[in-house]
Amino acid sequence: MFTYIIHRLAAAVPTLLGVAVIVFLMLRLLPGDPARVTAGVLASAEDVERIRHQLGLDQPLVVQFALFLGGLLRLDLGLSARTSQPVIQEVLARLPYTIELAVMATAIATAIGIAAGVVAATHHNSKVDYLVSAASLCGVSMPVYWLGLMLIVVFAINLGWFPAAGADQPASFVLPSLTLASFTVALIARMTRSSMMEVMGQDYITTARS
C-alpha cells in the first residue's frame, strides 16, 4: 500500500506541474497590469514601477515562473490586490466554510442521487423513470453558476425563505449546497439507475423472483 501511494503521488507531480504552468500563463495573458491594480489608479509611474519590481514582474518570464513555483512550494501566494493581506490567510479564513459546504453538498447529492436512481430503476420505462432521466439530464447540462443565481432570485429575493449570502445560520448553506449538489445528484442518479438495472437483469435475480 505504501508503494502504491508513493507511485500515485509521483504520478501526480507532472499533472500538478502542468496545472501550475497553465495557471501561470493564464495570469500573464489576462488584460490589465497587476502592478497598476495593486498601486491604485492615482499612483504615480514611479510607484507602479516600484511595485512591479517588488512583484518580480520586471524579470524574464522564466524567472517569474521559478518565483511562482517557489512561492507555491512555500505556500506563499502573495498579497491580495483587494485587501493587501497574504492570500494564504484569506484562503485559510474561508476554508472551514468551504469544507462544511462540500460535506453538506456531498451528503445531499448522495442521498438524493441514490434514491432517485433506485426509484427510476424499479419503475423502468414509467413516467417516474422518464422524469428522473429528464431531471438528471437537466442537472448535468445546467450551468451551476446560473442555477445558483436563479435559486437566489426565487427563494431568497422573491420568496424570502433563505438568506442570499452569509454563513451565520444553517439556512445560509441550503441554497449553495443544493447548487453544488445538482450536478453530482444527476451523475449519481444515472449511475445508480444503470447499475441497478444491470444487476436486476442478472440470472440470480430472475431465479430469486421465480
Q: Decide if 33 contacts 51 (C-beta within 8 A).
A: no
> Up-side HSE of residue 7: CA atoms within 13 Å toward CB?
4
Tell me the per-residue pLDDT of 180-204, one tens digit each, with 9 for 90 and over: 888 888 888 888 888 888 887 777 8
Tell me the per-residue pLDDT of 48-84, one tens digit each, with 9 for 90 and over: 778 777 777 777 778 888 888 877 777 777 777 677 6
Closest to 189 measured CA to CA, from 108, 104, 116, 111: 116
In the numeric block, which cell numbers belong to residue 191?
449511475
Tell me the per-residue pLDDT of 118-141, one tens digit each, with 9 for 90 and over: 888 888 778 887 888 888 778 777
Answer with the residue of higher pLDDT: 104 or 37: 104
Confidence at residue 147, expressed as pLDDT on a 0 to 100 scale: 83
Q: Is 163 helix (H, G, I), strand (E, B) or coil?
A: coil
Sign, CA torsion 138/142/148/153: negative
| DSSP H or E segment with residue 171 | none
